[in-house]
Amino acid sequence: MDARPDHLVRAARERFEAGDPHGTIHLLTELVQRGQAFADAHNLLGLALAMVGRREDALRELDAALRLNPRYVDAHLNRAIVLSDLGQGDEAAQAFTRAQELGAVDHTGFPAPVASQLANLHADLAEAYVEAGSAKQAIAQLETAAQLRPEFADLRYRLARLYLEEGRHERARLELEGVVALRPRFADPWIALGMARYLLKDLPGARKAWEEARRLAPNDPRSGPYLALLARVGG
């Protein structure tokens, strides 16, 4: 199994759509334990846990999704359903009301759930372009997705990775700085940000990013060699 977070989430979503909540839970629990889960992963895990009757655990994951993205309409709706099942009618009603408020037309010109769905569809199309070998088209799709939902840190991280792979280092740096502002406790964007800064010859900035990655994930094997590289080149 590909351990990259976006691929794990996609595999988990396929298991969920195939009617296999236990398989979904297995894949996403691994991601959560690694500290690499974005809001959509927590939301999907919450749904799967609710399906197998683990409602308290489901509520915990939905709350985690909303801490990462307080405007996540689907997570508010799913949380309302779980709260209702738990007999917490007043809290369920509040969650439904919040979902309705967020479901209004936003800056995109679409209702919020529609804009979120469109962003995810653009991201899925980007993956298809990557698999077909067209990074340029994939970047265009992810740029559109990020414009629709700039708070979706996972989409912006994938976009930044493609910028790096295509040698667009300044764009990658800008995108990754936005990602770490959204998800400061996720080590992977810090590692990628260090690489972008290093390629832009910002050695102090690269050191700061890799040191933060090492602090967040001391067992990750990548940050140590990168910091050793900096020491050899005098950064």
Residue-wise pLDDT tens digits, 117-129: 899 889 989 989 9
Q: What is the pLDDT of residue 3?
A: 60
> d(Cα 101, Cα 83) in Å, to the nearest integer?
18
The answer, as to whether pTM is greater than 0.75, is no
CATH class of the domain at 5-102:
mainly alpha
Distance CA 43, CA 232 (A): 43
pLDDT per residue as tens digits for the range 173-203: 999 999 999 989 889 999 999 999 999 999 9
Which class is domain 171-235?
Answer: mainly alpha
Q: Which two tokens stand for residue 9?
A: 């989430």
Rounded Cα distance between 196 and 174, Å, is: 9
Give 146's pLDDT tier (boundaries 50, 70, 90).
very high
* pLDDT (tens digit per residue) in 31-59: 888 777 788 899 999 999 999 999 999 99
Instruction: Decide which of 235 and 122 is more confident.
Output: 122
Q: Check: CB of residue 27 under 8 Å from CB of residue 11.
A: yes
Ranges for all domains in the chain classified under CATH 1.25.40.10: 5-102, 171-235
Give the up-direction half-sphere exposure of residue 115: CA atoms within 13 A in the CB hemisphere: 22
Average confidence (pLDDT) over 91-96: 88
pLDDT computed for residue 117 by the predictor? 84
Q: Is 2 exposed, middle or buried (0-12, 13-18, 19+ CB in 10 A)?
A: exposed
pLDDT surpassing 50 at residue 70 = yes
- Which residues, including other chains, have CB under 8 Å from residue 209's CB and lie 6 or more apart? 180, 190, 191, 193, 194, 197
pLDDT-derived band of residue 1, with 50, 70 and 90 as boundaries? very low
- Taking only the tens place, the pLDDT of each residue in 17-29 is 888 999 999 989 9
